[in-house]
Structure 1
Amino acid sequence: MVNRRDDLLDAAITVLGEGGMRALTHRAVDAAAGLPAGSTSNYFRTRDALLGAVIDRFVARERAVSEEIVARHLPTTAAEVAAALVDMAREQSGPHRTLTLARYVILAEAAIHPPLRAPLLAGGDRVRAYFLNWLRLAGSRDPERDAPPIMNHFVGLVLHQLAAPDPAFDPTAEITALVTAVLRPA
């Protein structure tokens, strides 16, 4: 079944990921979706309505990608946590590059448009919960302490790969060294 609303929102995510916030217009979304002019405004009368719906759709799509990756991994060691993060970094900077770029565009917009923060934080909380569980399973004595340096480094690593793509991108050694150092036995 075709869901035109989701098609429009997916097209809007593509517009954001490929052109940034300034590119997000009703007309650009219509064009990206291959639909007649005015289609997007029939569903979303204002840019704010469009952006709010885009965030909801974006969070749902990112959750699906995260759950797909989580289903492939149940890490119980630091090395397995690192392998899962390497997989995630490759997914986010490769096949899901446009979705990841859209996330960064939306995050930057949320910095100056506070009403966008709540749905983004709720989506991020779900990913954080998965990650904290991974750290617990891998033996972390304090996942709340251990998560931020790993997660923040991961975010920066992916952002760098998106900004300056390296065809030979292989974060295995870097991520493994960090996760092993943070989760080292006491």
Structure 2
Amino acid sequence: MVRNEARRTALLDAAIDVLAEEGARGLTYRAIDTRARVPAGTASNYFANRDELMSEVMTRVHERLTPSGESVAKSLALPRDRSLTVKFMHDIIKRADADKACYLAMMELRLEATRRPEIRAALTATIAGGIDANVAFNEESGLPGDRMAVVLLYFAMTGLIYERLTLPDVVAPMDLDELVEVMVGRAIG
């Protein structure tokens, strides 16, 4: 059977929405088909099992959250100093605000990884690879901060974004600009 890549992407996007809205327990082929508005049985034709589906959802989440090459190039035209690092952190927050479903789906995948070793292994490889890529990008771009600074910012931003998505009233009274500025300052000096 020939597979339609546009339909595959639509099914993955529907799966992300289902994960974000209903959690991992609500992620069924039927829920995906309904969300994608395709005939019943379509998702099962594209994904042989739940592990394959979740693995491909992880990949799709990262595709959706990765900034465009054009956006990165535009930012890299600026001076490569602490203020650019602050800008990159704000860009991450903007992408999270623009695509909350992806971050919520990633949270669900992380929770599922605590119960399923095969998902844990795949997600660990994906996240560790992403951190390594961020470190390499920072070094190759000549941005301030060493590996530890990038790792600290990764964990700080992950926590901040998840807090904003799950308990926004905790973060709401804080000045987001100041918070990001201090995080970057503490990480890179």
TM-score by length of 1: 0.82
**Matched residues in 1 for 2:125 and 2:71: separation?**
19
Quick one: structure 1 residues 169 and 11, their matched pair in 2 at CA, closer, same or farther if it must change by over 3 Å? farther
Shift, 1:69, TM fit: 5.0
**Aligned match of 1:73 in 72, 75, 80?**
75
User: Contact 1:66/1:127 (CA < 8 Å) preserved in 2?
Assistant: no
Secondary structure class of the residue paired with 1:112: coil
Shift, 1:38, TM fit: 1.2
**Higher relative contact order, structure no. (Cα contacts within 8 Å, ≥ 6 residues apart):** 1
- Matched with 1:177 is 182
Quick one: structure 1 residues 122 and 169, their matched pair in 2 at CA, closer, same or farther if it must change by over 3 Å? farther
- Matched with 1:49 is 52
**Matched residues in 2 for 1:15 and 1:88: separation?**
23
Calculate the aligned-residue CA RMSD, in Å.
2.6
- Matched with 2:95 is 91
1:105-141 C-alpha deviation (Å, 9 max, x unpaired): 111211221212344344332354235533672332x
**Matched residues in 1 for 2:69 and 2:159: separation?**
21
**Matched residues in 2 for 1:16 and 1:139: separation?**
36
Shift, 1:169, TM fit: 7.8
- Matched with 1:164 is 167
Number of aligned residue pairs: give it: 180
Quick one: structure 1 residues 134 and 52, their matched pair in 2 at CA, closer, same or farther if it must change by over 3 Å? closer
Residue identity opposite 1:50 in structure 2:
L
Secondary structure class of the residue paired with 1:73: helix
User: Contact 1:69/1:87 (CA < 8 Å) preserved in 2?
Assistant: no
**Matched residues in 2 for 1:43 and 1:87: separation?**
33
Secondary structure class of the residue paired with 1:76: coil
**Matched residues in 2 for 1:67 and 1:168: separation?**
34
- Matched with 2:152 is 149
Quick one: structure 1 residues 169 and 34, their matched pair in 2 at CA, closer, same or farther if it must change by over 3 Å? farther
**Matched residues in 2 for 1:151 and 1:131: separation?**
10
Quick one: structure 1 residues 123 and 110, their matched pair in 2 at CA, closer, same or farther if it must change by over 3 Å? same
Shift, 1:170, TM fit: 5.5
1:121-170 C-alpha deviation (Å, 9 max, x unpaired): 44332354235533672332xx1222232221111100010002357886
Residue identity opposite 1:43 in structure 2:
Y
TM-score by length of 2: 0.81
Quick one: structure 1 residues 170 and 70, their matched pair in 2 at CA, closer, same or farther if it must change by over 3 Å? farther
Spell out structure 1 runs of 4+ moving beyond 4 A. Answer: 66-69, 166-170
Residue identity opposite 2:154 in structure 1:
M
